[in-house]
Chains A and B, each alone.
Chain A
Amino acid sequence: MNILHSIESLFVYGIFIYSAVLICFYIFIAVYSVGETRQYMLRSSFTDYTLLASSEHAPSLSIIAPAYNEAATIIDNVRSLLSIYYNNFEVIIVNDGSKDASLQKLIDEYDLVKEPHYFEQPIKTKAVRGIYKSKNPVYKKLIVVDKENGGKADALNVGTNIATNQYIVCIDVDCILEQDAMLKLAKPFLDTDNVRVIATGGVVRIANSCEVRDGKIAKVHLPKQFLPRMQTLEYIRAFLLGRMAWSRLNGLLLISGAFGAFDRDIVIKAGGYDHTTVGEDMELVVRMRRYMEENKIPYKVAYIPDPLCWTEAPASFKILGRQRNRWTRGTIETLKMHRVMFFNKKYGVLGLLSYPYWFFFELLAPVIEFLGFIFFILMALFGLINWSFFLALFAFVYTFAVLYSVYAILIEVMTYNQYKKRREIFMLLLTAIVEPFVFHPFVVWSAIRGNIDLLRKKNAWGEMSRQGFATKPAA
């Protein structure tokens, strides 16, 4: 009995410490991020971004957009990329062995011809079938690469090999960019004196229900559908609080795969995107950081809290489940690949703080939550629950969760205030109240399925069909 009691005590104390540390982290993130956001906004008020738009000394960017079976939207998406507000750039569309008419559509629309093209291949990739450039000088910045299907990571690697510029910008072809997104993304590379900025990323916002005109967000609205609205709140919390705090600590492990810029040289030295994982965006950032730490080169991963990129969030439980399943697998795979950093002081903040945080509170959390839930049901069935204590604890955790969300909404209102209607803010607040009961358990369940799929060695990306944006023709 004593042994059993000791195990139980150890377990209960362990979970208590876990939860207490987690609460402390949340409080720390909430407080620490605010100062950084405020400083960023003040600094930004002194920045004339138009300087970059016209300067020949602006960092040269190669925008890489992998495309797989995107025939329906590819023409508009490429046009949107070619019209971005920046001077020194090229657009590389990597057709990843699409089975539809994506390539032919591009050839017809942009007057493309296959060109003999020799390029270095510092990162090994699937074979390139051909490189196309336009006969029309208007599209001289466009390069279309046709390659054998190898997945998103492989397509990005091909783009990295072909890129001729100093920085690569990896983007999902169906994202909508803000007009000044490239300027804001490029600036941190110039804004440093003694450390090398190896990557920059910005806030990704949810575009469901927003009005889209000519490939641009014309009017921002809070998503009308339930799931995208939940994700809006989740993104506000993650981007405005979490990533901002990690950025201030220079401990950011993830730059969203939807939109991020990287130092091409370091990407190549680190070995490029890993096509064996479904979390290639996170894995690359971790590997680049690891490379810099191991070579003792001072560096920084910069983060911009401005909304730069808009994306369509999954609106059905099925698609959302696939997405979260994949994110979980990606996280586990990345952390497993770089386990040498776990509490390794050689890696500084990365090894002592970022990695352990991701391990305990991103990787393990859904597992602990899920087992906790099972444990709770069993205890309830056996009549072993101390209900008054349970209710007290439940109320404590629930109010804390709502408080954290409401705080994130306050920061959103006081900074970027994207949702102008008061009704929308109230809807967001309502979302904060409902979220822990509906959305969160589903996310945990999807993460558990991700764990199971990983154990079963399932490595599929999972189809991510989209509904499309609510477009409005130009006035």
Chain B
Amino acid sequence: MRLYIAGIWWHNTSAVPDIFIPKSFLFESTFLFAVAIFSLLSFIIFYLMRYISYTAKRKHLSSIYSSFISEIILCETEEELMQVMQQSYIQTIIYKWLSRPIGKRLLLKNLIKIHRNMSGSAAGNIRWLYMHLALDQDSVKRLSSPKWHIKAKAIQELAEMKQEKYISKIYRETNNKNVYIRTEAQVAVVKLTGFEGLRFLNVVSQPITQWQQLSLLQLLSLKNKFQWDKLPGWLKSKNETVVEFALRLVEKYQRYEFHNEVVYCLEHPSALIRKQSIYTLKEISQPHTAHLLEHYFLMSEKEEQLCILEVMQAIGTKEQLPFLNSLLAMEDASIQYRTHKVIRQISVPDLGYDTDKISGEAA
């Protein structure tokens, strides 16, 4: 506390401070601070006690729910499910705990967690329970919450529980201004409808962060029905992040048929897109790609030039050597260094050189 001794300065014989800082003010403030300290201390004690009791209650409830959910998971028919639900201890759970927010919240949390690790009929039973207890209605209700985290959580729940019937409500949120709501909504539509869910890319005007792109790519890797007809449109989108994501899709799924569209993106106004296009071309390279990059090299900025050289290491052939040798005349040390690496790589590929282990004599 820097303040501690600094205050000592203005206490001496001079009456100056008294003009604007009367002693009574100091005493009153001190009293207020002391009261505040005492209040905070009391609150800390109260909070810790409440936290302990809440943790104990949560533990107790979790064990009750755990046995309840285990029984549900093992059922094979709807009749069996209904029979389980009729048991008195489950009725008690429903009446005693599900009417309380803590009980409902915890059950939902447990259901989501278990559903995430389940498949087949067990997962189906979890979803049945979710619907049977009208928890879907609860999630839908929370979709209209003004608080972003409540709304986003509701979307997450509906998607996890595969509630396709609410897709239109969720879809509306894919362009929400709040990044977390739209992220959850975009993930949800892809979870619910697979590749088709990417149709939000046709209209989304808000940016799709790199994190979001990563999430979507990861999610799509679990799906297998792809529709590529919309991709050329996404590559021309006004939303730069849509173009970037489309390029990543081409890269990941190695869609050679979009080579020309990707080349077109090399002239995109955004440097980020241009860089991503270069990396994408590496994955869908054709015999003339390296030659094309040679032409593009001279028009590019330094960062892109470095990317091109990096890609050349993978796709370049001896045909690129004259071009690469001409680059050695450039003054830029990084360009020279990278060019040396590419030349080595192309000249002696059979030696199995790791590009990072080039002899010190190279330059």
Which of A's residues lie within 8 Å of B, judged by CB? 8-9, 11-13, 15-16, 18-19, 22-23, 26, 42-43, 45-46, 48, 51-52, 54-55, 57-58, 115-118, 120, 122, 133, 164, 187, 189-194, 361-362, 365-366, 368-370, 372-373, 375-376, 379, 384-386, 388-390, 392-407, 409-410, 413-414, 417, 422, 425, 429, 435-436, 440-441, 444
Contacts and interface: CB of A to CB of B under 8 A. Distances in A.
Contact of B207 (A194, A362, A397): A194
A403 B32 CA distance: 10
Nearest to A23: B3
Interface string B171-201: 0000000011001100000000000000000
A117 B334 contact: no
A361 B2 contact: yes
Given A57-B213, A118-B340, A388-B23, 9 more contacts: A8-B14, A19-B3, A55-B214, A133-B357, A389-B23, A393-B8, A396-B33, A402-B33, A413-B44
B37 to A, nearest CB: 5
A89 to B, nearest CB: 14
Contact of B214 (A18, A57, A417): A57
B7 A394 contact: yes
B16 A410 contact: no
A189 to B, nearest CB: 8
Looking at A55, A373, A393, which has the most chain B CB atoms within 10 Å of its CB? A393
Nearest to A45: B149
5 contacts: A19-B9, A122-B333, A193-B209, A392-B30, A393-B10
B8 A394 contact: yes
- Nearest first, the 7 closest Cβ-Cβ pairs linking A and B are A399-B33, A193-B207, A401-B1, A190-B210, A365-B2, A15-B9, A392-B26
Interface string B245-262: 000100000000000000
Contact of A403 (B21, B33, B362): B33
Given A12-B14, A400-B33, A436-B1, A395 B8 contact: no
Contact of B30 (A117, A187, A194, A396): A396
A414 B44 CA distance: 9
Interface in B334-363: 334, 337, 340, 356-360, 362-363
What DSSP secondary structure best describes chain B's contact surface?
A: helix
B6 interface: yes
A410 B7 contact: no
Interface string B225-240: 0000000000000000
Given A191-B211, A406-B40, A407-B40, A12 B16 contact: yes
Contacts of A407: 40
B1 A440 contact: yes
B12 A51 contact: no
B2 A369 contact: yes
A385 B14 CA distance: 9
A19 B10 contact: yes
A406 B37 contact: yes
A425 B191 CA distance: 44
B125 interface: no
Interface of B: 1-14, 16-18, 20-21, 23, 26-27, 29-30, 33-34, 36-37, 40-41, 43-44, 47-48, 51, 149, 152-153, 156, 179-180, 183-184, 207-211, 213-215, 217-218, 241, 248, 333-334, 337, 340, 356-360, 362-363
B192 to A, nearest CB: 18
B241 A19 contact: no
Looking at A187, A388, A402, which has the most chain B CB atoms within 10 Å of its CB? A402
A385 B8 CA distance: 10
Contacts of B12: 375-376, 379, 384-386
Nearest to A48: B215
Contacts of A390: 8, 11
A12 B337 CA distance: 62
A417 B51 contact: yes
B3 A372 contact: no
Contacts of B41: 406, 429
B30 A46 contact: no
A190 B215 CA distance: 11
Contacts of A385: 11-13
Looking at B12, B18, B36, B241, which has the most chain A CB atoms within 10 Å of its CB? B12
A26 B3 contact: yes
A16 B40 contact: no
A116 B40 CA distance: 62
B6 A365 contact: yes
B30 A395 contact: yes
Contacts of B153: 46
A393 B11 contact: yes
A293 B29 CA distance: 42
Nearest to A395: B30
B27 A392 contact: yes
A445 to B, nearest CB: 11
Nearest to B357: A115
A19 B337 CA distance: 56
A402 B33 CA distance: 9
A413 B179 CA distance: 29
B363 A118 contact: yes
A58 B214 CA distance: 8
B23 A392 contact: yes
A392 B30 CA distance: 8
Contacts of A392: 23, 26-27, 30
Contact of A190 (B44, B184, B214, B333): B214
B27 to A, nearest CB: 6
A404 B10 contact: no
Given A118-B359, A422-B48, A403 B37 contact: yes
Contacts of A18: 6
B6 A46 contact: no
A368 B356 contact: no
A120 B8 contact: no
A275 B23 CA distance: 50
A256 B30 CA distance: 35
Contacts of A361: 2
B218 A12 contact: no
B16 A413 contact: no
Given A57-B214, A191-B210, A397-B7, A409 B44 contact: yes
A164 to B, nearest CB: 6
Looking at A57, A361, A368, A413, which has the most chain B CB atoms within 10 Å of its CB? A57
Given A8-B14, A403-B37, A369 B211 contact: no
B6 A372 contact: yes
B80 to A, nearest CB: 33
Contacts of B334: 120, 122
Nearest to B334: A120
A401 B48 contact: no
A396 B180 contact: no
Contacts of B43: 410
B241 A413 contact: no
B13 A386 contact: yes
B40 A403 contact: yes
